[in-house]
Amino acid sequence: MQFNEKSVLDGLSFEVRPQDRLVIMGQSGSGKSTILRLILGILQPSSGSIFFKQFEITRLRRRKLQQVRQHIGMVYQDSALLSSRNVRDNVALPLEELTDKSRQEIDKIVDEKLDLVGLKDSKEVMPAELSGGMKKRVSLARALVLEPELLLFDEPSMGLDPVISSVIDELIISLSEKSKATSITVTHEMDSAFRIGTRMAMLYQGKIIADAEPEEFKRSKNPVVSQFLSGSTEGPILEGSQDAIATK
Amino acid sequence: MQGIGSIGRNFFQEVGSLFWFIARTFDETIDRLRSGRVPFRAASFFRHCERAGVDSVPLAGLVSFFLGLTMALLTGYQLQRFGTERLIPGLVAIAFTRELGPLITGIMLAARIGAAFTAELGTMQVSEEVEAIEAMGIEPLRFLVAPRMLALFFLMPCLSTISNVAAIAASGLVSRAYFHIAFVYFLELVRDGLLIRDIITGVLKSFMFGLLIGAIACYRGLTVRGGAAGVGTATTSSVVTAITAVIGFDTLYNIIYTGFFPT
């Protein structure tokens, strides 16, 4: 995957098994969010293929891609709620636009999903009036409303305090388990990553350099993984990077 | 030479992208209709109609009224020297119905509504709302652009008509007050001066202006890059492009029109 001739992901390859909760970690700007956008078909890779079940995302025509996207739920870093619609309308949007359900059926599903994230009483509130954690929860409810098979989370605990961050993590775990959905989370927040993940992967210089279960991942001998987990300034990650030059 | 080439290439690229944008919006909308579903919510369409149309009535009416007054006054004094001030009603009516009504309304709508659409969609773009819509499997052009573009397409002729009526009414007042032309005689002169094809050509132009302004505003909004500063730049660019496009299209239309109807 290239941006302005700069290669961001190069030779990247991984597989996610059903009901896995894969967490992809990596530095800021390493291309973690790009992976999610590639899976959704919002970005097109310069080469290579991406498969979701039997569908090759990279080769799907627009109409088919729109249909496949309905089986994938995405929670954005900044929640990406539609600011002109209240909580109820945000959550109801996919149902109104993509299904033939009646208003009563939609209301029932919306209530159910908002209840799952603990926001049943905030239906009429506008996104601007919600806290960061509440926005994330609404976004989660919206992602779940079409019962997706795959959930994508882009930095789910970014900008939240540790307590609310844990609440969101717990929600991700419980909702993924309840809906039997597979999930891919990209984050660089350690606590969050180890809480959510049943599998961890480390993205470095455009490649997955480590992929293991959390305990095994913690014990990794890979110097990049060790440095990333310890947060040390000494090691391969900062060598030659702009951040290293700034610290000297 | 290289600079001119680059400007030319960018121009044709932009024009091509805009046509592709309009075609894709229609494609997504028709696709949705084919599947037996409404392309967008009626409430969304009427909300944009209200913003673009109803809320623009005072501005379009007032500006055209003042322009009608001025035009009748200025031309009236010139025509009076030759004793032909009875030509004022026909002159103002033809000028506004065929040309000035749609043009002035187009320019006002580009500034007022085009800027609003660009800023709104641009903000949605930078805050990832548009991407979230796409990620849900909803076509953003059909959902966001089609109701806005159609609202401008249908409302523009209505606003042009209001503009024409306001200008003709203003010139009626001036004709009565300064040139002693009675209202009944004024209306008779307007009827004599105006041809059906003047009205049709004005209405046709208005439809096209509405479509152009809507498409340019939405296109600029959805192609915003670079956060808040990008929204500001895109909004300015949207207004400038829409006004230039409206005047350019009007010129082209007039060249073709006078080719078919020279008088």
Chain B contact set for A142 (CB, 8 A): 136
Residues B159 and B161: their CA atoms lie apart, in Å, by: 5
Residue of chain B nearest A74, judged by CA positions: B135
Is residue B133 within 8 angstroms of chain A, CB to CB? yes
- Helices B227-260, B101-109: crossing angle, 10 deg rounding: 170
Q: Tell me, what's the pLDDT at A240?
A: 52
8 Å CB contact of B135 and A96: no
DSSP-H helix ranges across B129-194: 129-135, 140, 146-179, 183-193
Would you give per-residue pLDDT tens digits along chain A (248 residues)?
Answer: 666 667 778 888 889 999 999 999 988 888 899 999 999 999 998 888 999 998 999 999 988 999 999 999 999 999 999 999 999 999 999 999 999 999 999 999 999 999 988 898 899 999 999 998 899 999 999 999 999 999 999 998 887 888 888 888 998 898 888 888 999 999 888 888 999 999 999 998 888 988 999 999 888 888 888 888 888 887 787 765 655 545 44
Asked if residue B211 belongs to a domain, the reply is yes
Residues B149 and B242: their CA atoms lie apart, in Å, by: 13
* CB contact at 8 A, B210 and B109: yes
Mutation pick from B32, B136, B144 vs chain A, by most beta carbons of A within 10 Å, is B136
Chain A contact set for B143 (CB, 8 A): 97
Residues A39 and A196: their CA atoms lie apart, in Å, by: 20
Residues 6+ apart with CB under 8 A from B98: B198, B201, B202
Q: Tell me, what's the pLDDT at B72?
A: 95
Which 8-47 residues of chain A touch chain B by CB within 8 A? Answer: 37, 40, 42
DSSP for B68-134, written as a single string: HHHHHHHHHHHHHTTT-GGGHHHHHHHIIIIIIHHHHHHHHHIIIIIHHHHHHHHHHHHTTHHHHHH
Is residue A96 within 8 angstroms of chain B, CB to CB? yes
* CB contact at 8 A, B38 and B145: no
* CB contact at 8 A, A202 and A23: no
Residue B58: domain span = 45-260
Residue of chain A nearest B31, judged by CA positions: A63
Residue bearing tokens 């709620």: A81
Instruction: Enter the DSSP assignment of A159.
Output: T
Asked if residue B28 belongs to a domain, the reply is no
Would you give per-residue pLDDT tens digits along chain B (263 residues)?
Answer: 778 888 888 889 989 999 999 999 999 999 999 988 899 989 999 999 999 889 999 999 999 999 999 999 999 999 999 999 899 999 999 999 999 999 999 999 999 999 999 999 999 999 999 999 999 999 999 999 999 999 999 999 999 999 999 999 999 999 999 999 999 999 999 999 999 989 999 999 999 999 999 999 999 999 998 888 999 999 999 999 999 999 999 999 999 988 887 76
Number of domains in chain B: 1
Q: What is the CATH number of domain A2-247?
A: 3.40.50.300
Asked if residue B62 belongs to a domain, the reply is yes
Chain B contact set for A98 (CB, 8 A): 136-138
Instruction: Choose the closest CB to B136 out of A37, A93, A100.
Output: A93
pLDDT in tens, A94-142: 999 999 999 999 999 999 999 988 898 899 999 999 998 899 999 999 9
Q: Tell me, what's the pLDDT at A248?
A: 47
Asked if residue B10 belongs to a domain, the reply is no
Residue bearing tokens 């098979």: A149
Asked if residue B37 belongs to a domain, the reply is no
Residues B192 and A66: their CA atoms lie apart, in Å, by: 57
Asked if residue B16 belongs to a domain, the reply is no
Domain ranges of chain A: 2-247
B198: tokens are 């003047």
Instruction: Choose the closest CB to A42 out of B41, B127, B135.
Output: B135
Q: How many CB pairs under 8 A join A and B?
A: 59
SS3 state at A6 = strand
